[in-house]
Amino acid sequence: MSKTLVILNPAARSTRAGGEASFIESLPGGAEVALTSGSGEARTLAAGAVERGYSTVVAAGGDGTINEVVNGLAGSGATLGVLPIGTMNVFAAELGIPSALAAAWEVIVRGHVREIDLACANEQYFVQLAGVGLDAQVVKETSWSMKRNFGPLSYVVAAAQIAARKPPRLEVRYDGNVTEGCFVLIGNGRYYGGPFNFFQKARVDDGRLDALVFQKMGHLDIVRYLGNMLMGSHTELKDVTYFQAKEIQITSDEAVPKGSLVPVLRA
């Protein structure tokens, strides 16, 4: 097996972190394990692994850990591996990576590699999802204690609080077109929030981003959007715009999480 570093986020499942580290170290093929101690450290560890010649760097955690590791590996020739042990594992579901650690590790050991698109928003890389407005604000305001106590429901609680505020107005430009909305979701893959097919035409290797632009952000509007998303009919709503593009620019007159998205880059 190639030289491999597993970056484990203990906060992903805090009560089992030590056991998972031991389990990972004992898996066939072997690997060095590094535990993170705070936000942003996974990125630093991944970048350091590249400098030390590791050919494979594995993110053991949720989508947040994967995002940090991706940003540490971007521009290098190292391969990203995934062991899904976090609160949210949307990227693993997108690629069909097993939720069982032993089975997910087998995918890595056997050297199953897939080339995907690498997208960039405000000089931050991502492989699955970017949000402007509501989604990004929810992530920003959902604390670890909320996630520990409520799991995925913590995001719903935060969204309900944010929906009570005055929404921003976003201008979205793509391929010579202009539209407006209150919040925007950008997908490199199909899934958002779990194995829910929000971006129906998306493929992780098609060289395009998929976008959903929502014109309203009240409590009832969000419930209506979610209901239609779960039924797969959200793209038929008159106040939702769905499109694909290689480059998307989003601007606002007021400060909102995220700003402009730049072209998809090939990983």
Whole-angstrom distance, CA of residue 63 vs CA of residue 245: 24
Does any domain span residue 88?
yes
- Residue 18: CB atoms within 10 Å: 12
The pLDDT value given to residue 264: 37
Sign of CA dihedral 104, 58, 188, 145: positive
Residue 188 lies in a domain: yes
Cβ–Cβ < 8 Å for 247, 261: yes
Residue-number span of the structural domain to which 184 is assigned:
124-266
- No. of helices (H) and no. of strands (E), the chain: 9, 14
pLDDT of residue 47: 97
Whether 128 and 110 share a structural domain: no
The model's pLDDT over 31-80, given as tens digits with 9 standing for 90+, comes to: 888 989 888 999 999 999 999 999 999 999 888 899 999 999 999 999 99
Query: Which CATH number do you get for residue 262?
Result: 2.60.200.40
Query: pLDDT tens digits for 162-182?
Result: 666 667 789 999 999 999 998
Per the structure, the count of domains in the chain is 2
Q: What is the mean pLDDT of the chain?
A: 82
pLDDT recorded at residue 153: 60
pLDDT surpassing 50 at residue 266: no
User: Does residue 119 fall inside a structural domain?
Assistant: no
Residue 219's H or E segment, with its range, is helix 219-231
pLDDT in tens, 220-259: 888 888 888 888 899 999 999 999 999 999 988 776 655 3
**147 and 243 together in one domain:** yes
* CATH of residue 41: 3.40.50.10330
